[in-house]
Structure 1
């Protein structure tokens, strides 16, 4: 796993620092050791003998990466993972979502580097990435990723991700997104790829009237009605009942943009959308291998996020192609072969490679006088 992961990271386009006695291999080992322990490069360097003298040296090497080339290579590698283990003859459901990396600090070059999010971890600032995942219980791969700036339209980021998805050799039969993508341009772009499901944002008199009901039904809604950018889409209004779930009771009405899905009932549309919750597992495992950093450099932060997603995909590929046992009805996935376990293996090997020193500051008192463990 260590060899496979380092081969993967070595494909990232890092030129390196001219005249440095180091090589890219030790830089990637340092970064990967930090990632698999969800710690900082500084912490790794402080505790190892075979790494650079300071973490700024590692950062200098990472700054030689071209950001556009990095995004291209990372997405090429994600595409390779998908084509390796996903059956091209099956259609797929794709989930698009923003991944927000909370940030406590200021921008490096321009305010657009930092996006705003709902309060989390004591901040409303973040570095944001638009991602695409495939909905598959056994092979939930990341298909594409792109950084997002605060001054760009979400549709542009969605377009870059979906351009990548469209290159994959399987048909997309639905795209699921959260309410953060409830925008006219986003809906148009996603609809050009596949049927789309996402929740409506409850604003405007027309929409409130449509949601004022006690029965599920189909209707149509016009976004920016009467304007040049008017967008009409099928609106699935779904009424359900909460029977004590999370302490809630009574009727709840939800509306969904449901382009090209009117052959289903509103309840079926809602059931399809609820499959999107599977993405939370992907987020949780991705964070298990994300190196932490205080740097304001968006390039380096993207490198750490990309490394995390690449390692997660590598685990999924190995689990399916190498470890899962073929059987009638599909392969048997070993529940013990977890991402946490694999990260531990890589971490242990890298600790040995980098000369990890297991030290701890003592209290200065020591053992009691006359202590002799052999006396008994």
Structure 2
């Protein structure tokens, strides 16, 4: 029996752009949903212009397709619609009749002028699952303000716990190296949509999903939130060290850097034996994680001094042999050359209309019976306009 993709038969009207919304809808597209990406005529999604780098054509020349845009729009179809025109608004509503989900990331109230906000559409489309992604949500004093990943990383607390300690060289707030707030918001939105689909199977009704960057970002802080909520003390930057586990950080070797992630006291004893200091593993000052946290300032310099005398790969081999979690710090080119990454087939290539292929990072979702299919690279602007209008709306 041939089984269909998990979201086969589900259609998504995607009015989002940049990252959080498109990341959500790319997940849905990977799972088999038909995602129709609505874009502004001639300009399209903002990220189409966020380059270089750009995709190369079959002759090795730059196309107009920015790598940023390619990273978050595969498996979708693109249609150009002018929302500023009555005809464009009518087309969106016509398409909405044939869709299960609508995803948008306009500012709060931004679609009301077009009659495309949830309140304007809910009665006409009672089964539609309408997902709004905004900076601060639909309620509260900041609701109407725009929100961007970088500012939310600062406002939401992540930058207060990311970066080297203030009293050390290079100390100070630091953002993450990728737009983690947008990504996690896209993931939460995906989960919420899947839950709403399941609920609709019971009730037969759609609903409004209010997903905010700030909310998702704060939720993502996980144990750091609880460190504050249980102690009353706001966590501070600790560089590459862990707030709650010791030793769990970066160590400098004679030829590079490595990570050691000692998760329990048994691993710590194995770690000490491998370093040639087995007595540390039973010393009351270090034998338990609680003791190691209290005596961190004494313990870590001793460990750093020992690790600095050996080569990175030699240490990794030695620690792996005794079951201590550890690993190298790799550049992204080294990541894709790693045998585990190659074995997991994480680099994919998809045929592209400009000629040749477009690379994409494989979805981390693996299904035994209905694997993710990479049918389409990120679409060209308006690539499927005629196709969608004919197929779904029956227009000439």
TM-score normalised by length of structure 2: 0.25
Q: Which has the higher strand share?
A: 1
Larger RCO (CA within 8 A; separation ≥ 6):
1
TM-score normalised by length of structure 1: 0.26
